[in-house]
Amino acid sequence: MSFPATRMRRLRGREAFRQLVRETSLTPRNLVAPLFVCHGERVRRPIASMPGHAQISVDEAVDKAKKLVSLGVGGLILFGIPAAKDPEGREAYDPDGIVPRAFRAIKAEAPDILLWADVCLCEYTDHGHCGVVKNGQVDNDRTLPLLARAAVTYAEAGADIVAPSDMMDGRVGAIRKALDDAGHADTPIVAYSAKYASGFYGPFREAAESAPQFGDRRGYQMDPANSDEALREVALDLEEGADAVMVKPALPYLDVIRRVKDRFQVPVVAYNVSGEFAMVKAAAQLGWLDGERVALESLTSIRRAGADVIITYFAEEIAPLLGRTRT
């Protein structure tokens, strides 16, 4: 049938019609909020490149977790600002480190929220790389036991999910074995499987104080030009025991999200990263676009591409809007 018998606008004319045929849903439960935790009490250090976000102390993180629960947000993921850095990132796997302390405190006061642990060394090393450096290069195999140790530490502190973001080969298998051996066989692993060497991470590196002190991370993070390689990375992580996989960043890699979902039919997480957030915020502040509308549209596009869960800095401000009628 063609025009005039067929008029596609018929089901667009009223919000009730639009809701009736809407193909993609976006709810607060689909969102995970990142938090940056630091030592001290009642600390709140604003992050200039990420309006509305700050490095916060554990007590502030507890308050934030309670608010996220009230908004129905699906979970939170913690990144730690250590008291001191060293070549092997010891605070990453110290049971008394900032992230384990935060997990214990949040679990005690807001037990209903799902706690994700980012597993990496970059925030904790004095050189800013995601693993141990030897002769100017990241030593993949020497890094694996430290990542595994960190994952166990987080699980024991109350993390519900561990999410290795380091991009070392074999880290999922090492973490799975360590968790199982430590009595955490039921703790899921969400692997940052397709994590690209992206220019969109700049604001995060300010927030987490994790910029490399030499070189860059292209030797272990993925080339932005590759998508077939992403499928290989995902396949390997699933074989090693990953329960879900992640694509990072999200918006420049919507095609990768769709390919991963179509190929593997497993839970897919997408990370709507700091640079994606900062661009929208900057343009909105200049009056160049409607920030709320663009944020909602961006997150919906990530869901439409195939992501089941979105880690996003918009979580807290967007969650209250998701029950509101959209036009």
Residue 109 is labelled as binding a ligand: no
Phi and psi torsions of 37, nearest 5°: -105, 140
Asked if 151 and 192 touch (Cβ cutoff 8 Å), the reply is no
Residue 274 is labelled as binding a ligand: yes
Q: 66, 67, 107, 248: which one is catalytic?
A: 248
Cα distances (Å, whole numbers) of residue 138 to 76, 127, 145, 211, 224: 29, 10, 14, 15, 20
Residue 38 is labelled as binding a ligand: no
Asked if 126 and 85 touch (Cβ cutoff 8 Å), the reply is yes
Residue 233 is labelled as binding a ligand: yes
For residue 88 the two structure tokens come to: 């092997």
By CB atoms closer than 10 A (0-12, 13-18, 19+), residue 81 is: buried
Q: Does the annotation count 195 as an active-site position?
A: yes
- The gap between the terminal CA atoms of the chain, to the nearest Å, is 28
Asked if 251 and 312 touch (Cβ cutoff 8 Å), the reply is no
Residue 316 is labelled as binding a ligand: no
Cα–Cα dist 185/176, whole Å: 8
Q: 64, 85, 195, 281: which one is catalytic?
A: 195
Cα–Cα dist 107/123, whole Å: 23
Q: Does the annotation count 64 as an active-site position?
A: no
Asked if 65 and 118 touch (Cβ cutoff 8 Å), the reply is no
Residue positions in the annotated binding site for Mg(2+)? 233
Catalytic residues, by residue number, are 195, 248
Residue positions in the annotated binding site for Zn(2+)? 120, 122, 130
Residue positions in the annotated binding site? 120, 122, 130, 205, 217, 233, 274, 313
